[in-house]
Structure 1
């Protein structure tokens, strides 16, 4: 019997056909592997990006680190807004209603563009004041403000990229958005090379060359990211609208005017996610405010350690993307049995992969931090932080993948509330206690993070074990 490909296996979900365990595992792998490789490649690009900024010194690194949590807040809210539409598309495609899926896509494009412009404007307005609110010192506030302003100008492009990427994944196409996001990372590094540093003098085979360089420092890093995001946005939207087999819009006419029913469904899914991102990233910003008074070395070490750790948890997000697609289409096809099996398969896969990555992170922490920065203090504090965090990776995977499963099922309210309780009730409380009372410094912050991630993973597995998140009514 010939081995079935991804499209044929996804068709089995929509057509109600029975699947063997081997076919379920194969489909999970076919959707997960491109996303995992893309995440890993993207992180490698971020490593190079961070190491470029790290060569500028502790203050420049700290200026980006100061606003990084606020950047996560804005990006997370934009991503949440797009998810309300992409989950609808996954359910409709799973139910065998592609024309209605394309109708949702049209409505989402106008809505999300307006939303992205509004969020970008808000970011521009607060950019002069944000670094001071976060208790940054006078050496870094000016550069931090400029960096956040340029990021805010890129938000409309970033939001459309989130939308197109989510739509393609919901249709079962993991490969193209993964490849384009890898391209964005590569472009970011290339642009940074020419924008951050001064001109480079090289000699090849006895011939002298001078590569141009703008020598813009932190501003150059922001501009490089802006250009990479803009180009990737255009490529992603073009492929979605003109090349995607399930979603392309150039072969039929339809209205782009948002309608009430579609917006209400999107709002119901996205609102809890958006509120969660606001509350959780506010917690991250609070932690940044706790770390900032510890000095530029601690702030830079915290920022670089977060980037280094992402090498471990980004595979989990790749598997979570696959889980959202598999569960979303299984829900749309009214396949309760398949929904449960794909949930179990993806969680076990995520915990296994991230557990192994945690072992590698514990061993390689000093090397990972030395890639980020040559400053001994940053390397020392960052290494200690990573070795604490390594113990939490399997349970962190449980939380990441379970959340992807719940999003695919359209079950966002309770998981978002669980995240908020875990972050504010455990991480923030313990961070403040360890740093302000026990004077544990950056080690205290990361110890609190480790404890909180283990707690969060545990409560997610508890909810996953129940069937309350599986909300199947009927296929039509």
Structure 2
């Protein structure tokens, strides 16, 4: 019988069955495709937010842009904790220990909810002063504080969204998280449409219609996003807890109190990742401080360009998600050569896809920025930044997917140090040197050089490093 279904091919990993090169590539593509869609849906949601807010003016765009790096910091910490448990689930499923996988899932729910509540309290506490600490001007600080407060308040829902999606992906189910992320994107559009803009008349095929609206501006963008994330979190966790064949805990006896062993393993994976995210986002915040003196146009253009570029690199993160699943389950099954093979197939696939995306981004940069804002100086600055960054995409892909490989192997400490060293030593130093002379383009040139360097060192570690020492 010809095996073409992803679940059947994953079963060959656990059962010790043979996988030829075609089947390995097929499985990698089958897991990557829905993961890419999920990642792109998340970024399209940010793109939509930025585009809708961009029509309110430069100040509204800058008020979100000034706190965006801090929101990534909190996102990264939530993701790191969810990964600490989901990688354990991948190893357990790869070894065929489904009861242990469910036990880890139950413990993860308790641990992540407690952590996200604490993080939400911290976020709400700092929201008032954060924009001023980052160098924001008086005309954007109020909206920026309000946006971040709403974001922080709903962190527990975001955490459960991340946890449910990570657990399903590591069990080999890429389709449900993908579909739910697409639904989240659609809900975000609807919520934003009614919350951001005031009541108004619009023309649809020549027919004038009165459209209701709350007119909340930046606050409406925040509320629209968190409401979409909350609905998605409920659906994601319901599917994982009730419908998932490998993870369902409904009617299955077991405790939710975390054990020392489970927490220790989660900490070994999550702490380096969380620390890395914190320090990397600290570097991004430092870059925001470098950009802030360049003016409101530069702040807005930088934020828009970052959102637009993410459309290019999110396929890499989707392939990295697939690599984490494949490597994690292969490692759990104790299959060394298969683990290495999936690692390289994933990395080369990521580099190929992101090279194509880089070419598209270079050509379409002015059009992409034109969708997001009508302010000409912002559009020109952003397009120039994107065209610089396009040259870094192949090597950026290498670092993204290789990192996903290392996470699947439970090897996060050394890769985290590599990311930190590259960001702080190369990017920050170059940005500080180039920004005064070249403006925003100098900041993005520094980013391009650093990402190429980072990709090179990750490829070297993938080839010569001891990341498979646990097998």
Q: Report the TM-score when normalising by structure 2.
A: 0.98
Contact 2:41 2:181 survives alignment (8 Å): no
- 1:274-296 C-alpha deviation (Å, 9 max, x unpaired): 00001000000000011011111
Distance across 2 between alignment mates of 1:403 and 1:206: 51
Contact 1:334 1:472 survives alignment (8 Å): no
Q: CA deviation at 1:435?
A: 1.5
Distance across 1 between alignment mates of 2:204 and 2:266: 56
- 1:69-117 C-alpha deviation (Å, 9 max, x unpaired): 0000011011101111000000000001000000000011011000000
Q: Which residue in 2 is equivalent to 1:447? A: 445
Distance across 2 between alignment mates of 1:408 and 1:204: 49
**SS in structure 1 opposite 2:210?**
strand
Q: Which residue in 2 is equivalent to 1:461? A: 459
Q: List structure 1 runs of 4+ shifted beyond 4 angstroms.
A: 203-208
Distance across 1 between alignment mates of 2:205 and 2:120: 48
Q: CA deviation at 1:171?
A: 0.2
Contact 1:54 1:61 survives alignment (8 Å): yes
Q: Which residue in 2 is equivalent to 1:102? A: 102
Q: Which residue in 2 is equivalent to 1:31? A: 31
Q: CA deviation at 1:208?
A: 4.9
Q: Which residue in 1 is equivalent to 2:132? A: 132
Contact 2:63 2:143 survives alignment (8 Å): yes
Q: Which residue in 1 is equivalent to 2:74? A: 74
- 1:118-158 C-alpha deviation (Å, 9 max, x unpaired): 00000000000100100101000111000000000111110
Q: CA deviation at 1:203?
A: 5.2
Quick check: 1:394 aligned with 2:387? no
Distance across 1 between alignment mates of 2:270 and 2:317: 18
Q: CA deviation at 1:251?
A: 3.4
Q: Which residue in 2 is equivalent to 1:201? A: 201
Larger deviation, residues 142-151 vs 180-189:
180-189
Q: Which runs of 5+ in 1 are unaligned?
A: none
**SS in structure 1 opposite 2:379?**
helix
Residues 322-341 of structure 1: matches in 2 within 5 Å? 322-341=322-341
Residues 254-265 of structure 1: matches in 2 within 5 Å? 254-265=254-265
**SS in structure 2 opposite 1:199?**
strand
Distance across 1 between alignment mates of 2:65 and 2:123: 17
Distance across 2 between alignment mates of 1:287 and 1:276: 16
Q: Which residue in 1 is equivalent to 2:313? A: 313
**SS in structure 1 opposite 2:3?**
coil
Q: Which residue in 2 is equivalent to 1:186? A: 186
Q: Report the TM-score when normalising by structure 1.
A: 0.97
Contact 1:195 1:220 survives alignment (8 Å): yes
Q: Which residue in 2 is equivalent to 1:412? A: 412
**SS in structure 2 opposite 1:200?**
strand
Q: CA deviation at 1:471?
A: 2.8
Q: Which residue in 2 is equivalent to 1:345? A: 345
Q: Which residue in 1 is equivalent to 2:166? A: 166
Q: CA deviation at 1:467?
A: 4.7
Q: CA deviation at 1:413?
A: 0.2
Q: Which residue in 2 is equivalent to 1:22? A: 22
Contact 1:199 1:213 survives alignment (8 Å): yes
Q: Which runs of 5+ in 2 are unaligned?
A: none
Distance across 1 between alignment mates of 2:204 and 2:127: 44
Contact 1:143 1:218 survives alignment (8 Å): yes
**SS in structure 2 opposite 1:248?**
coil
The CA RMSD measured in Å over matched residues stands at 1.2
Aligned pair in 2 of structure 1 residues 416, 207: CA closer, same or farther (>3 Å)?
closer
